[in-house]
Amino acid sequence: MFRRAAYADAHDMVKIYNQAMKPGVFAISQIAPDTHRERVAWLREHQDPYPAFVYEIENGTVIGWCSLSIFSVRPEYTDIAEMSRYIDENHRGRGLGKLMLAHLVEKASNLGFRLLVSRAYERNMRSIKSVDSFFRPVAVLHEAACIHGEWHNDVWRWRKLQRPQSASA
């Protein structure tokens, strides 16, 4: 079940996010583990229209989280959001990533965003394949990030969103 992320979720979010730094995952460029303090500060910034959500199973265990973030600080891009999602390594490959995508597309549309952007390192094939049915390829930034002395390409995809109809329309 999805719900808005709360400060109490920071510990679980940090654990899951830091799994993305493991060798061979290619999900994030961060080389130092995320901390509880950093995630709480991050959550403070992720209020509407840029919310964060956790996904928890029946026993209340958080097994993944996703968010909408600012795409650019430039005013002409305020109707574009970037999405992120992270799944506990013991629960990957079971369809939660696509469920998160659908959730974020719906939430971004309801919040009035026009476009949703997804980015992934080219070597993160699991992430790229999971967005193929939701997003269209738009660009590859070659050698965009240097991680542990190795250059990585950043693959960008986008989706045009359906804005909700107003009550007077």
Q: 111-135, pLDDT tens digit by residue? A: 999 999 998 877 777 777 778 888 8
Tokens standing for residue 114: 């026009």
Domain ranges of the chain: 2-160
**Class (C level, CATH) for 2-160:** alpha beta
Per-residue pLDDT tens over the stretch 21-73: 766 555 666 667 788 999 999 999 999 999 999 999 999 999 999 999 999 99
The residue with tokens 């990030």 is 145
pTM for this model (two decimals): 0.87
Residues 139-143: contacts with CB under 8 Å, at least 24 apart? none
CA distances, 67 to each of 3, 97, 141, 146, 151 (Å): 11, 12, 22, 24, 26
Question: Residues 103, 52: contact at Cβ < 8 Å?
Answer: no
